[in-house]
A = this chain, B = another copy of it.
């Protein structure tokens, strides 16, 4: 028996951590559960994937965050369901955990919209493992082309990014810098200028959530850096060696980065609650789940009313603020105070295109583009990154990259492929794939070096 109310927080992303941080000095016991033992800073994953940052720079051990809080506990576990009647969280690898209050903050995952071959052969970018897998893959493709330049003809140096939102724009911008400024020197014997970076977007503009001026700036900036942008088209089919567009065009590539959509994390499907668009959990104004006042859903996992008839977007700021709000509702309930409605404070949105190029839209219609927006982006991400050492390391890396045009950690260091993650295509060094083998690649050893 616990003497204090037990708050279970599922997920150690922005939503879950901000909920737990809000509760850490309050008269409650808190258990944070995540399948990773670290918080991952999603906004910078694309920089790990493009060899600008170390994996460890954008991750922070959850236990380290709560070292001094004796009443905050952590469990590295996979949550497979919630028993709302018994007030229990079910785990993949242990007995269930009982809660008095539950905050669901399991985030989101990639949406493939049923596109044939996408789940099998596209590279998602939603976890640190994904980022390291993508980095290894791109570097391996260049190594393969260096060993056998005839592969360039087969499109082995083409990188295709699907989705013209902030993630797609950031990935495409960073890829073109990696290839043009770094790999061109590393592979001085290879025709690196034959590499193509192609960005595909369904709408007739990039950055749908931004103003027209920002959209056009982003398009111009990407194109002037050498990204080929295809607007108004979508992917029909993905194979291990090509992407087929609805226009009939076939682009040979062994590296398709899928930045086209998100949906609520799988956990939402295993809780008996109402789900809305993209599988998100519908919540009341106080972020509690209808019919279960002690259960809250926050961040990307929740479908939160924006107060104007719409839904709040899946952004870090929404997760941070909603996580904190749910924690406060727990305290209100314990203290027998009335609950309050969640009010989102819009702090604006940003996207970076590359060196000295970004767009930022602030509340009240203020817009920034170019070097000023880029500096604002750098500063803000340093502030939101967890841990002094990580900030220091990211700062040193960014300063270095900026001054030298170099990148640091372009290592092919292979992370194990986790079975719960979408499986990435086989490595380029795997002869079967290079020969156009269309059998679904297997994770683990079949994927490794000969």
Contact = CB atoms under 8 A, between A and B. Distances in A.
A106 B418 CA distance: 31
A247 interface: no
Interface in A364-408: 387, 389-390, 392-393, 396-397, 400, 406, 408
Copies of this chain held together in the complex: 2
Contacts of A315: none
Contacts of A147: 75-77, 93-94
Contact of A389 (B75, B397, B420, B450): B397
Contacts of A400: 389
A220 interface: no
Question: Taking each of A148, A415, A431, A449, which has the highest tally of chain B beta carbons within 10 Å of its own beta carbon?
Answer: A449
Interface stretch (A54-62, A168-176, A296-304): A54-62
Given A147-B93, A413-B129, A67 B185 contact: yes
B93 A450 contact: yes
A89 to B, nearest CB: 13
B143 A76 contact: yes
Interface string A402-425: 000010111111111111100000
A61 B448 contact: no
Given A67-B188, A429-B93, A55 B416 contact: no
Interface in A196-237: none
A419 B449 contact: yes
Contact of A392 (B59, B74, B396): B396
A35 B140 CA distance: 12
Given A56-B54, A94-B147, A449-B419, A129 B414 contact: yes
Contact of A450 (B78, B186, B429): B78
Interface in A60-90: 61, 63-64, 67-68, 70, 73-78
A411 B56 contact: yes
Nearest to A127: B413
Given A67-B188, A186-B64, A431-B93, A413 B35 contact: no
A56 B412 contact: no
A32 interface: no
B418 A449 contact: yes
A405 to B, nearest CB: 11
A70 to B, nearest CB: 6
A432 interface: no
B449 A411 contact: no
Contacts of A409: 56, 59
Interface stretch (A112-120, A286-294, A320-328, A439-447): A439-447
A410 B92 contact: no
Contacts of A93: 147, 429, 431, 450
Contacts of A61: 186, 410-411
Contacts of A406: 64, 389
Interface string A11-38: 0000000000000000000000001111
Contacts of A390: 408
B187 A411 contact: no
Question: Taking each of A61, A78, A406, A415, which has the highest tally of chain B beta carbons within 10 Å of its own beta carbon?
Answer: A61
Question: Taking each of A56, A92, A146, which has the highest tally of chain B beta carbons within 10 Å of its own beta carbon?
Answer: A56
Given A76-B412, A418-B448, 13 more contacts: A55-B55, A55-B56, A56-B409, A70-B188, A389-B406, A414-B416, A415-B415, A416-B416, A416-B447, A416-B448, A417-B444, A419-B449, A444-B446
